[in-house]
Chain A
Amino acid sequence: MSKFKEWRAGYLFALPALAYMLFFVGYPIIDNIRLSLLDVNVMNLVNGDQPFVGFDNYTKLFREGALVKVLQNTLVFTMMCIALQFVVGLAFALLFQLSFRFSQRLRGLVMISWLLPATITAMMFKFMFGSGGIINDVLLRLHLIQAPIEWLVERHTAMFTVILANTWIGIPFNMILLTTALTTIPKDIYESAAIDGANVLQRFFRITLPQLKSAILSLLVLGFIYTFKVFDIVLIITNGGPVNSTQMMSTFAYKLSFDQFQYSQGAAVANVMFLVLLVVGFVYMRLLNREERS
């Protein structure tokens, strides 16, 4: 087969997928960008002029400070969730690596939080962290606090609660990916290190972590993308409150579009979100390529 034919065949095979992507992914993105450059609101959604306003929607959202606040919230939320999920996930992965009695079954149990629908988890956290919820009840009985903490009323504790809920869901995902990566590390490296007199900590920092490097990178980047677009958990537990202190990019975009009928502003927020994730996505691709080359 000639070089050209081979080339053509390749594109023919990719064509259906390409067409699918263009229609279901490309079109909505382009349309969303278009929408964000117009001023579409309740008055002119169906009939009436939809004036072109350039970047007015973006500048307005930035100037009013709402977008900056929401971006900050989302970044704080994402960073905290990833850090916690990763550390706890790694700890679990290492723990279940030591095959003790019931380790398999316990690992299965940890997976439950990942299998539950997110809405159910969110409802559960909402009840548990209510002022008469089980968390306050336990803390009161242990005399750790004098009066119930209003978790979902104070700004910082509300953020803490949604971070905790999302972390709880994310731990199993981290654990499983790290467990898989751990099994690929050859046993003999550890054996020879042990013979050379390396202690547990040395083995962890000199062997385990470096060997897990590429898995950890993927995990952090994928985790970032997955966490950054959080929606259901926050919507149910706090609905962005109190006073927007847990308002995320996604819930804010939804609120603008479907509560206040400011469709163009909602689209603008979604596009900023897209841009952030696009950058993260490119970084990830570069890291992957470098890993593959080395």
Chain B
Amino acid sequence: MLAMLLVLSLALAACGGGNGNGNGNKESKGSNEAAEGKGAVEPKKLTLWFYFEGKAQFDIVKSLTDGFTAKNPNITVDPVYIPFADFKKRLSVGLTASELPDIVIIDNPDHAAYAAMGLFADITEQLKDWPEKDQFFEGPWKSASYDGKQYGIPLGSNNLALYYNEQMLQDAGVTPPQTWDELKEAAKKLTKDGVKGIGVSAPQNEEGTFQFLPWLLSTGATFDQVSTDGVRAFGLLSDLIKDGSMSKEVINWTQSDVMKQFAAGKLAMMINGPWQIPDIEKSAPDLKYGLALVPKDKQYASVLGGENLGVVNGKNIPEAIEFIKYVASPDVSKDFAQKFGYFPARKDVASDPYWTDNDKLKVFAQNMEYAQPRGPHPKWPEISNAISEALGKVLTLYSEPEAAAKEAQAKIDGVLQK
């Protein structure tokens, strides 16, 4: 009986999502008809889904849509917040029920999967003559493509770097580590009086994979070839735990949990992205901290994070393309990236002094050269799961690095062969 309820509740969630959207459209039609009476051209109403949480974030997104309507009075874009936890579910369910927005701001590793599902429109043709497309960094631009076709435009990027507490490093007499050996040694020295040497968020989901990739890629391994070379990356993180330099709790810490620990002075170093800077400065204004590249094994490496704008396959493709081009234009994207703690996906914007002259941001700017995208692969979520599961096994000291890497590789091979 109650399993039926589970099935039912999933089905109902689908209906609920669909209805909400449907009603929104109906209301908008009503108000449009009213406007028509005054002789105005009926504006087209588009919907944008995004998952950035918080009032401030909503307002920033709203400023994009308002700015667009100011330039294109006959098109309005309605931003709708969907919680991240529900986002993928709402999209897949909306896809089968044909209840979808016109534009989606999506986590870049998921872009290929949804393109493969048929959610996004192939806009390769429409972008062919758009001169600005050459301004984008290669990694972000590729993350919005699948099978050689373009399904969107990057909204903004980020990557991961090493944050360190200047005071603590000075007291312990260590310099920011550049290699793994230096890192292990520094982390050990910095661990004392309730302070842990380093924190790397490692939950068993996409966030954990994201944080693990810089280490993995640094060994020369790739996301689809994690065994052999990758074993060293698993080994490094488990050594940090065995040494006591990193808390075992990291498997339950999100990136923002790690940031809070760092801001509270409980971590001497952490791996995190540029979007944490505003929060750190707000919660710990007196904290003196520096930034460096993630310590390397064979080569410097980082992971490319960020979101893309995708155009949903539907009735309003031309208008949606206008919108994403507007958002990606230099002035708009620069302003947006600054407010959002993003790193710009465009080279011309990224060369702005705001990023190149700032001690902290320039590390992320430099890091863009080393940042590699996740995938793009339509089955990225499954690959990612294999990696983060292996990481979890290693960090709880349940598996040896070799065994975990081998197991993950077997799973990834299974996914890729299909």
A266 to chain B, nearest CB (A): 9
Q: Which residues of A contact B398 (CB under 8 A)?
A: 155, 242-243
Total number of A residues with any Cβ neighbor in B under 8 Å: 48
9 tightest CB-CB pairs across the interface, nearest first? Answer: A274-B3, A46-B118, A28-B7, A258-B89, A277-B3, A153-B248, A28-B11, A243-B392, A225-B2
A226 at the interface (CB under 8 A from B): yes
The docked-state distance in angstroms from the alpha carbon of A104 to that of B88 is: 47
Q: Scoring B residues 172 to 207 as 1 if CB is less than 8 Å from chain A, else 0, what string do you get?
A: 000000000000000000000000000000011100
A112 to chain B, nearest CB (A): 24
Known: A45-B117, A261-B381, A263-B92. 19 other contacts (CB 8 A): A24-B8, A25-B8, A28-B10, A32-B7, A43-B117, A43-B378, A45-B96, A46-B96, A154-B396, A225-B1, A241-B203, A241-B204, A243-B204, A243-B392, A253-B6, A258-B88, A259-B88, A261-B92, A274-B7
Q: Are A244 and B389 in contact (CB under 8 A)?
A: yes
Q: Are B378 and A42 in contact (CB under 8 A)?
A: yes
B296 at the interface (CB under 8 A from A): no
Q: Are B116 and A278 in contact (CB under 8 A)?
A: no
Q: Are A229 and B5 in contact (CB under 8 A)?
A: yes
The docked-state distance in angstroms from the alpha carbon of A71 to that of B204 is: 20
Residue of A nearest to B382 (CB): A260
8 contacts between A and B (CB under 8 A): A42-B116, A46-B117, A153-B249, A242-B396, A259-B205, A262-B382, A277-B2, A278-B3
Q: Which residues of A contact B287 (CB under 8 A)?
A: none
Q: Which residues of B contact A225 (CB under 8 A)?
A: 1-2
A137 at the interface (CB under 8 A from B): no
Query: A29-B4, A243-B398, A277-B2 given as contacts; is B95 within 8 A of A259 (CB)?
Result: no
B11 to chain A, nearest CB (A): 5
Q: Which residues of B contact A259 (CB under 8 A)?
A: 88, 205, 381, 385
Q: Are B381 and A242 in contact (CB under 8 A)?
A: no
A250 at the interface (CB under 8 A from B): yes
Q: Are B118 and A47 in contact (CB under 8 A)?
A: yes
Q: Are B95 and A241 in contact (CB under 8 A)?
A: no
Q: Scoring A residues 226 to 254 as 1 if CB is less than 8 Å from chain B, else 0, what string do you get?
A: 10110100000011111110000010010
Q: Are B88 and A241 in contact (CB under 8 A)?
A: no
Residue of B nearest to A281 (CB): B1
B45 at the interface (CB under 8 A from A): no
B106 at the interface (CB under 8 A from A): no
Q: Are B92 and A229 in contact (CB under 8 A)?
A: no
> Which B61-99 residues have C-beta < 8 A from chain A?
88-89, 92, 95-96
Q: Which secondary structure dominates chain B's binding surface?
A: helix
B329 at the interface (CB under 8 A from A): no
B113 at the interface (CB under 8 A from A): yes
The docked-state distance in angstroms from the alpha carbon of A42 to that of B418 is: 12
The docked-state distance in angstroms from the alpha carbon of A154 to that of B397 is: 10
Q: Are B204 and A240 in contact (CB under 8 A)?
A: yes
A270 at the interface (CB under 8 A from B): yes
- Taking a contact as CB atoms closer than 8 A, the residue among B113, B203, B396 that contacts A42 in the complex is B113
B111 at the interface (CB under 8 A from A): no
The docked-state distance in angstroms from the alpha carbon of A47 to that of B392 is: 35
Q: Which residues of B contact A275 (CB under 8 A)?
A: 3
The docked-state distance in angstroms from the alpha carbon of A272 to that of B8 is: 15
- Taking a contact as CB atoms closer than 8 A, the residue among A226, A241, A273 that contacts B251 in the complex is A241
The docked-state distance in angstroms from the alpha carbon of A46 to that of B91 is: 12
Residue of B nearest to A231 (CB): B6
A169 to chain B, nearest CB (A): 16
B252 at the interface (CB under 8 A from A): yes
Residue of A nearest to B12 (CB): A24
Query: A42-B117, A131-B247, A225-B1 given as contacts; is B396 within 8 A of A153 (CB)?
Result: yes
Q: Are A229 and B247 in contact (CB under 8 A)?
A: no
B360 at the interface (CB under 8 A from A): no
A162 at the interface (CB under 8 A from B): no
B325 at the interface (CB under 8 A from A): no
B392 to chain A, nearest CB (A): 5
Q: Which residues of A contact B10 (CB under 8 A)?
A: 28, 257
B146 to chain A, nearest CB (A): 11
B379 at the interface (CB under 8 A from A): yes
B61 to chain A, nearest CB (A): 24
B362 at the interface (CB under 8 A from A): no
Q: Are A260 and B396 in contact (CB under 8 A)?
A: no
The docked-state distance in angstroms from the alpha carbon of A24 to that of B10 is: 11
Residue of A nearest to B393 (CB): A243
A50 to chain B, nearest CB (A): 12
B405 to chain A, nearest CB (A): 15
Q: Are A131 and B251 in contact (CB under 8 A)?
A: no
A56 at the interface (CB under 8 A from B): no
Q: Scoring A residues 148 to 160 as 1 if CB is less than 8 Å from chain B, else 0, what string do you get?
A: 0010111100000
Q: Are B396 and A270 in contact (CB under 8 A)?
A: no
Q: Are A261 and B113 in contact (CB under 8 A)?
A: yes
The docked-state distance in angstroms from the alpha carbon of A29 to that of B2 is: 11
- Taking a contact as CB atoms closer than 8 A, the residue among B11, B118, B251 that contacts A153 in the complex is B251
The docked-state distance in angstroms from the alpha carbon of A278 to that of B7 is: 14
